[in-house]
A and B are shown apart, each in its own frame.
Chain A
Amino acid sequence: MKVSKHGLFFLVSLISIGIGFSSPALAQEKVVREALKASDIRSLDPHYGTTTIDYACIDPMFNGLVRFKPQDINPEKIEPDLAERWERSKDGLVWTFYLRKGVKFHKGYGEMTSEDVKFSLEKAANKATSGFAGDYAALAKVEALDKYTVRLTFKSVIPSVLGILTNYHGGYIISKKAYEEKGDKFKFDPIGTGPFMLKEYIPKEKLVEARHPDFFRGKPALDRIEFWFMPDASSREMAFRKGEIDLVEGEREQAWVKKMRDIPGTAIEIFGPGETLVLHFNMSKKPLDDVRVRRAICHAINIKELMAFLGPDVTEPLVSVIPMSYLGGTDKVPTYEFSPEKAKKLLTEAGYAKGLDLSMVITEMSDYRRPMEQVQEQLRRVGINLKMDVITHTAFHEQIRKDVNPFVLYVAARFPVADTFLTQFFHSKSIVGTPTAVTNFSHYNKIDDLIDKARGEVDLNKQKELWAEAQKKILEDAAALPLCITRFVFSRKVYVDLGYEMRSTLNLSPPIAWTTDSKKK
């Protein structure tokens, strides 16, 4: 047994060495460690970042000309950020922004000027350098009038000019000098004006951002932020329990909320805008080309039961296809009461008295799969047998764009203006399978005029009326059925002070602001 003893001795020695010489803790540093459901970032170029982890890492490093308050996504409350003020022409086509003076880019890249703004917005509007170019299709030109003044001219009026200039997607301002110098490398070595700057990036593990000492609003309270890429829910939970993580992305499930609430020193953040769960009926194919079948499905689904299944803390009602909290959202639309009898009657009228067999693909992601399994069971009760094939999320996105499903459950968060949802999901230009396709899975084409008219309308009240009319029409035609909203869930150690009350954010995770602090002892 000599070998065994030696072996054990060797193992114990290795572990002891590990424990004895582990990295010294930097107790004096103020750090917040956040764990997100991701394997890695895809891009730190803000004009390409599209995932939750990208948003979380990008936001503390950049600013827009204007901004949403950290806790509020109401487009009517957008406030100045890199621009101190702005003016717009009477026709709404020309906007002049006066920039804040003395704003410094990270790592000695100099002062932010109108040239940087012009460069950033032109980059955001260019398909070759931005994933959000479509949002800037109406932007005709950007002019740097002097060092601190920028003029934007639009080809046509758009619903929210300030919206596309916020700290979101293409609205982020980057350093022209840094981008030209770094080229492709900018994607993982970005330079912005935000309260934190990139310090270290270990692919597949973590990203560290350090305080930007010259941040224009003041000295950030934290020394460092660490974003950990942790796709596994159990690992995130363990790391949070052990105190190695201070802020953790949760599962949007009641059980998870309850479990985390029981951990001492934990606060649960449940916030909006959440993601809408909407069933988009494919009106181009049998049998859902028949409005009676679509309405039957609407009546067969018990939304209250679905919300109870998903969890009362993490869901909220969705009356129309656009949430009420969005600019242009309304609840004055036709609704479909839960009535299996009506569903069966409509199916009989449509010639499906003996029931109906449907098949579809669904992603493995639980945010989609779980509600869809509930819907499947509810449809079975009225005689609609739905066969579901579970596939990967990437494959799902490709398949639903090829019209393989009779209806698509789509979980979405978008810029909080009705035009975005209506254009992407219900304008004929967005019908899947066409060259300009986005996400119109219904093949719906009956409200183009309303969407286009609302987009060009300068009177906000009239604009809202047009958007409301469009939503009413969608529900009348049963082109889609709004199910509910699932809210975002995070756990936070109580010693982390976000610096604001978390209500809603387009970041999809609580933004780390310059005022965010850690009181960990």
Chain B
Amino acid sequence: MIQYILRRMIYVLPTLWAVVTFVFFIIRLVPGGPAMAVLGSYATAESIRELEKQMGLDKPLIVQYGNFLKDLCRGDLGKSMITKRPVSSEIAKALPYTIDLTIAGMLIGIVLGIPIGIMTALKRNRAPDYIGRILSLVGISMPEFYLGILLMYLLAIKLDLFPVLGGGNMSHLGSRLHHLALPALTLGIIMTSFISRMVRSSMLNVLKEDYVRTAKAKGLKERVVIYKHALRNALIPTVTVIGLYASILMGGSVLTEIIYSRPGLGKMMVFAVKDRDYIALQSVIIVFSAFVFLFNLLTDLLYGLIDPRIEYH
């Protein structure tokens, strides 16, 4: 398995390079630049050019690209063009907020989505199934910024259960969880909708299989049939969906972080795009891409745990 993981890691390098190269050039093609963001809209053309020179933007694009790759190979992500702080330290500060949010959103999705999916499959075409399907459809259809505002209004303002501001004190577990609850619930509800639909559909397929009928015929208890025989097999496509949506969830953190003022990676990315902070944007994209790779790898490894027939070559 170690060999498999190492091979996957080597395979990911060209993908990362392609993503980074694409972002490097595309962001520079978009009109606007970081110098004006720093100097403000009434800066003279001369002072903008002066600052662009200081930022190294006067050099040919290919030279800038070469320098960027050289620094990247050394593990140096560079300094933000706007704040002048090392991007790696900015990412290190922002990352925990996004990781907290993604993991919590996924946990909520898994913890609620799987049981709901099983229940709606078992009670097919009955009231719990209809209610579950309608709710999951609402969850999928509702934009996260709207759901976020709605939850904020209900749970923070009307019921006064949670704060609406910021990421809380990261060194204080209680404060951290308290501030995480609402944003995580926002993403968690969406994740729950996706997972429950997938589990329901997989379960319905599996429940028709011969081995399930056989298990029932053997006189096994309903619970054993469902959890040992049916669910385990239904989980393979579900894990694929969870892996896929984990990446989407991370991307979804952008809007959630803005709504709840969490200083995470998503907010950092929006700021970088807005101010054309090329260096910061490239670095955030690298981190996001690395996480997508990690989620895909974890998904593949989980297959083996769920289904021992799967081998890694």
Chain A positions near chain B (C-beta within 8 angstroms): 1, 3-4, 6-8, 10-11, 14-15, 17-23, 39-40, 42-43, 48, 50-51, 127-128, 131, 133-134, 184, 187-188, 202-206, 228-232, 234-235, 238-239, 241-242, 244-245, 391-399, 401, 412, 414, 424, 430, 432, 434-439
Contacts and interface: CB of A to CB of B under 8 A. Distances in A.
Given A11-B108, A23-B168, A23-B175, A203 B258 contact: no
Interface stretch (B25-33, B61-69, B209-217, B299-307): B25-33
25 contacts: A3-B111, A7-B110, A7-B112, A18-B174, A22-B168, A22-B174, A42-B38, A127-B50, A184-B84, A202-B93, A202-B166, A203-B94, A203-B268, A204-B263, A205-B166, A205-B262, A231-B270, A232-B258, A234-B149, A394-B276, A398-B32, A401-B45, A435-B46, A438-B42, A439-B42
A430 B166 CA distance: 42
Q: Kindly list the 4 A-B residue pairs having the minimum CB-CB distance in the complex, ordered from nearest.
A: A21-B174, A7-B111, A4-B115, A50-B40
Contacts of A238: 149, 152-153, 156-157, 164
A6 B275 CA distance: 46
Contacts of A3: 111, 114-115
Contacts of A436: 44-46
B251 interface: no
B21 interface: no
A11 B32 contact: no
Contacts of A51: 40
Contact of A244 (B31, B45, B165): B165
A131 B30 contact: no
Contacts of A397: 32, 36, 41
Contacts of B173: 17, 21
B77 to A, nearest CB: 15
A204 B271 contact: yes
A203 B84 CA distance: 13
Nearest to B260: A235
A14 B116 CA distance: 20
Interface in B138-196: 145, 149, 152-153, 156-157, 160-169, 172-181
B205 interface: no
Given A11-B111, A238-B156, A39 B270 contact: yes
Contacts of A204: 94, 263-264, 267-268, 271
B185 to A, nearest CB: 9
Contacts of B274: 39, 392-394
A127 B38 CA distance: 13
Contact of A42 (B82, B110, B111, B175): B82
Given A128-B50, A401-B45, 11 more contacts: A4-B119, A18-B177, A22-B168, A50-B40, A134-B44, A235-B152, A238-B153, A238-B164, A391-B31, A432-B45, A438-B44
